Structure 1
Amino acid sequence: MSGPAVPVLMYHAVAAAPNEATLALSVAPEAFAEQMALLGDRGFTPVTTAELAEGWRSGGPLPGRPVLITFDDGYEGVHRHCLPVLAEHGFRASLFVSTAWIAGDFDNGAAPDTMLDWEQVRRLADTGVEIGGHSHTHPQLDQLADEALRSELLRCREVVSGELGTAPVSFAYPYGYSSRRVRRAVRETGFAQALAVGNGLARRSQGPYALQRVTVRRSTSVEEFARLVEGRAIARNFARDRALTKGYAMVRRARQVRKAVRSRV
């Protein structure tokens, strides 16, 4: 049995006044609270990425209506705005951090907006939020040479392990980009499962290293959000995104070919 399809919600910044760099993929705090209330009203039970993957891997029980609430990058609003709402509903979530963007000793100053610090990340972990990896500097992993790819993954895992005392077991690909080579490297680095984007429901048949998510944006109305979590009209909602993704994938593959040719010259 493949099991039910599961909505995996992908959030980035949750902020009242995001900057231009994060505006499109941000969500207003009031909208986030309304979306979480809808999940509760409709009987969804949030689980972490690790819990879903382990349930599918082992065939163990999952709640009747599982859903994943995931946050990428590590924006400060996850602590300020989301943590109280998650706590109010008793919801689990997964946070995927780019370790060079988290404020502290490893901060490279390249973060696009105000980020969490490690004390806030620890508070989130203490409340049951799963902390996963999202690379060290947030590059397009499939464009990196093998050594740089491995360095990004190992550095991320080492920093999270050092700061939290526990190694992360789940990963989310920056920009959603991966390849067979990237997925193999993620597995070999010690991550047990990984999330892509895809803008579709997650299914066991996708395998533990290519689970799909749906993007929640500032423009996502509560009516559209309801359709997404119920698995209705997803293809129509993200038709433009998929067309752009396919076009950009062709451009990126051409870049890889040119890079490979230059390296042989």
Structure 2
Amino acid sequence: MYHAVATDPNEATRALSVTPEAFAEQMAVLAELGLNPVTSAELAACWRSGRPLPGRPVLITFDDGYEGVHRHALPALAKHGFPATLFVSTGWIQGPYDTGGGLDTMLDWDQVRELAAAGVEIGGHSHSHPQLDQVSGATLRFELIHCKEIISDQLGSVPASFAYPYGYSSRRVRQAVRETGYAQALAVGNGLARRAQGPYALRRVTVRRGTDIAEFERVVQGRAIARTFAGDRVLTKGYALVRRTRRARRLVSRTGA
């Protein structure tokens, strides 16, 4: 799971960005190891149909829709003939639906179309990038449906895949994603994607600015993942508790209890 690919990202995206040079080196490692990238739609289609996946499959995904995916990542992907999946927050993409919420320089719709034409699957990532498990049912459906409609209008094809903003979901969110027509959805979880997770909770591992090439190679081979992301899991569990507490307090205040 990538976010920004940038030489000089701003502070909001720095930690979850990679340099263009690092990304190119990481793609070369995938090629050297004989890994075979597939899109999230291809993965789910194989699992559903029983068709075999290529040997040593790997997903290359990008969240949000930063401009560096077109400027820097696309040439590196094209060099190796690698497909990838880009999950866009439609309200952050430059153009008629832009809400101004993007954290750094974002793609425009012409660039998104060029990425799609080059073999990058375009999936949904909500419209305004909220924590979907914290919003009302009406807002949740708006975020999912509006995102899907905009992508369909701009690209002429309906997105099949979705990624949860911040990686957060719940049974209610996953059910809504299914009901609004997305065929599969990706979380974070910092673990390998496995069929047992089901099509609406597939895990990914985070690649960030501090990921050196040795760590990257270990992770893509499925080695030492628990140790590599142990700190992330502690923080995630802690923040999840804080979020549940805040949500409970909001519900209490609304009911006047």
Partner of residue 155, structure 1:
146
Partner of residue 15, structure 1:
6
Partner of residue 96, structure 1:
87
SS across alignment from 2:193: coil
Q: How far apart, CA to CA, are the structure 2 residues paired with 1:166 and 1:258?
A: 41
Pick the aligned partner of 2:135 from 138, 144, 161: 144
Partner of residue 31, structure 2:
40
Q: How far apart, CA to CA, are the structure 2 residues paired with 1:121 and 1:129?
A: 9
Gaps in structure 2 of 5+ consecutive residues: none
1:51 aligns with 2:42: yes
Q: How far apart, CA to CA, are the structure 1 residues paired with 2:100 and 2:235?
A: 30
Using CA pairs under 8 Å that are at least 6 residues apart, name the structure with larger relative contact order, 1 or 2.
Answer: 1
Using the TM superposition, give the Cα deviation of residue 260 of structure 1 relative to its aligned residue in structure 2, in angstroms.
2.2
Partner of residue 229, structure 1:
220
Using the TM superposition, give the Cα deviation of residue 59 of structure 1 relative to its aligned residue in structure 2, in angstroms.
1.1
SS across alignment from 1:212: strand
Matches within 5 A, 1:167-182: 167-182=158-173
Q: How far apart, CA to CA, are the structure 1 residues paired with 2:234 and 2:30?
A: 29
Q: How far apart, CA to CA, are the structure 1 residues paired with 2:50 and 2:206?
A: 27
1:246 aligns with 2:237: yes
SS across alignment from 1:122: helix
AA aligned opposite 2:91:
A
Using the TM superposition, give the Cα deviation of residue 56 of structure 1 relative to its aligned residue in structure 2, in angstroms.
1.0
TM-score by length of structure 2 reads 0.98
Q: How far apart, CA to CA, are the structure 1 residues paired with 2:50 and 2:247?
A: 39
Q: List, as ranges, runs of 4+ consecutive aligned residues in structure 1 with deviation greater than 4 Å.
A: none
AA aligned opposite 2:222:
G
Using the TM superposition, give the Cα deviation of residue 109 of structure 1 relative to its aligned residue in structure 2, in angstroms.
1.2
Q: How far apart, CA to CA, are the structure 1 residues paired with 2:254 and 2:55?
A: 52
Partner of residue 18, structure 2:
27
AA aligned opposite 1:257:
A
Give the length in aligned residue pairs. 256
Q: How far apart, CA to CA, are the structure 2 residues paired with 1:173 and 1:44?
A: 26
Q: Which string of whole-angstrom CA distances, capped at 9 and with x for unpartnered residues, describes residues 127-173 of structure 1? A: 11000000000000000010011111111001100100111010000
| Aligned-pair identity (%) | 72
SS across alignment from 1:215: coil
Q: Which string of whole-angstrom CA distances, capped at 9 and with x for unpartnered residues, describes residues 87-122 of structure 1? A: 110001000000000000001112110000000000
Gaps in structure 1 of 5+ consecutive residues: 1-9
Partner of residue 199, structure 1:
190
TM-score by length of structure 1 reads 0.96
Partner of residue 6, structure 1:
none
Using the TM superposition, give the Cα deviation of residue 54 of structure 1 relative to its aligned residue in structure 2, in angstroms.
1.1
Using the TM superposition, give the Cα deviation of residue 264 of structure 1 relative to its aligned residue in structure 2, in angstroms.
2.4
Using the TM superposition, give the Cα deviation of residue 263 of structure 1 relative to its aligned residue in structure 2, in angstroms.
2.8
Across the aligned residues of Structure 1 and Structure 2, the Cα RMSD in angstroms comes to 0.7
Partner of residue 261, structure 1:
252
